[in-house]
């Protein structure tokens, strides 16, 4: 009779205590969330949408003092930081667009006006009325009372009293409140690299004199 040897069964290794992943402290989680939010806000502000406040009445009644607006920066091509160059945009600025741009006489300031003429156009302004390429321009957005009933024989503008051709890559801009607007009639053209973007929405509006919110203006879209 053959004896059968039985082999001892292998013992399963004994698992030691599993190291638990170290949890971040609540303070660190909050700090990381804030940093990420700030970075995202900076990227959006630089390349997508930026908020501005209307400080003057030059665009009345389209925009009022105390309106807070959003400006689309990627439509024309976002600015590349610290340069006058832009990324490729969806389209070029067009007639009637309300734009924010660097004021030519002081680029630390931002102005907002409406594009009246683009490169290649011929523009003439008399008594606040615009002749574009030889035809009187229909401007329903101009503030009532801006057009003078009695034609004047004197033109006090520095530009466009006589037909003026807009150079390529430049824009002739004016405020909708023609009697209270420092615009291309007085300091010339806006060059394409100086345009920050197109205003498209009033997201808040505060009447500082009467201390109330203008509810009807909230969410108003600017074509």
Please answer whether residues 163 and 119 qualify as being in contact, where contact means their C-beta atoms are separated by less than 8 angstroms. no
Give the per-residue pLDDT at 18. 56
CATH of the domain at 79: 2.10.109.10
Cα of first residue to Cα of last residue in the chain, in angstroms, is 104
Higher local confidence (pLDDT), 81 or 183: 183
Residue 97 lies in a domain: yes
Residue 210 lies in a domain: yes
Residue 87 lies in a domain: yes
For the beta carbon of residue 113, count every other beta carbon within 10 angstroms. Answer: 23
Residue 14 lies in a domain: no
Residues with catalytic roles:
58, 113
Residue 180 lies in a domain: yes
Q: What is the pLDDT of residues 148-195, one digit of tens each?
A: 877 777 888 999 999 999 999 999 999 999 999 999 999 999 999 999
Q: What is the pLDDT of residues 57-79, one digit of tens each?
A: 999 999 999 999 999 999 999 99
Give the per-residue pLDDT at 15. 53
Report the percentage of the chain scoring pLDDT > 90. 70
Q: Does the pLDDT of residue 19 top 70, yes or no?
A: no
Q: What is the pLDDT of residues 108-136, one digit of tens each?
A: 999 999 999 999 999 999 999 999 999 99
Give the per-residue pLDDT at 61. 96
Q: Does the pLDDT of residue 13 top 70, yes or no?
A: no
Helix (H, G, I), strand (E, B) or coil at 196: strand
Q: Which of 116, 132, 101 is nearest to 175 (CA)?
A: 116
Give the per-residue pLDDT at 41. 76
Give the per-residue pLDDT at 22. 65
Residue 153 lies in a domain: yes
What total of structural domains would you count in the chain? Answer: 1
CA 37 → CA 28, 40, 83, distances in Å? 14, 5, 25
Give the per-residue pLDDT at 2. 42
Total residues found in the chain within this entry: 223
Residue 25 lies in a domain: no
Domain that holds residue 204: 43-221
Averaged pLDDT score across all residues of the chain: 89
Give the per-residue pLDDT at 37. 81
Give the span between the Cα atoms of 208 and 20, in whole angstroms.
Answer: 57
Q: Does the pLDDT of residue 4 top 90, yes or no?
A: no
Give the per-residue pLDDT at 30. 75
Residue 183 lies in a domain: yes
Q: Does the pLDDT of residue 43 top 80, yes or no?
A: no
């Amino acid at each position: 009779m053959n004896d059968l040897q039985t082999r001892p069964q292998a013992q399963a290794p004994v698992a030691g205590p599993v190291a638990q992943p170290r949890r971040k402290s609540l303070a660190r989680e909050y700090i990381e969330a804030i940093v990420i939010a700030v970075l995202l806000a900076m990227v959006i502000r630089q390349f997508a949408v930026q908020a501005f406040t209307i400080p003057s009445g030059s665009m009345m009644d389209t925009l009022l003092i105390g309106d807070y607006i959003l400006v689309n920066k990627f439509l024309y091509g976002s600015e590349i930081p610290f340069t006058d160059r832009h990324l490729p945009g969806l389209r070029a600025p067009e007639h009637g667009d309300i734009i924010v741009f660097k004021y030519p006489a002081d680029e630390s300031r931002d102005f907002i006006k409406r594009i009246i003429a683009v490169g290649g156009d011929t523009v003439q302004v008399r008594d606040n009325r615009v002749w574009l390429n030889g035809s009187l321009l229909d401007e329903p957005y101009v503030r009532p009372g801006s057009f003078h009933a009695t034609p004047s024989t004197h033109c006090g503008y520095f530009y466009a009293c006589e037909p003026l051709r807009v150079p390529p890559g430049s824009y002739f801009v004016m405020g909708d409140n023609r009697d209270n607007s420092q615009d291309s009639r007085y300091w010339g053209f806006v060059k394409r690299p100086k345009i920050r973007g197109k205003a498209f929405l009033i997201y808040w509006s505060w009447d500082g004199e009467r201390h109330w919110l203008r509810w009807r203006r909230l969410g108003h879209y600017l074509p």
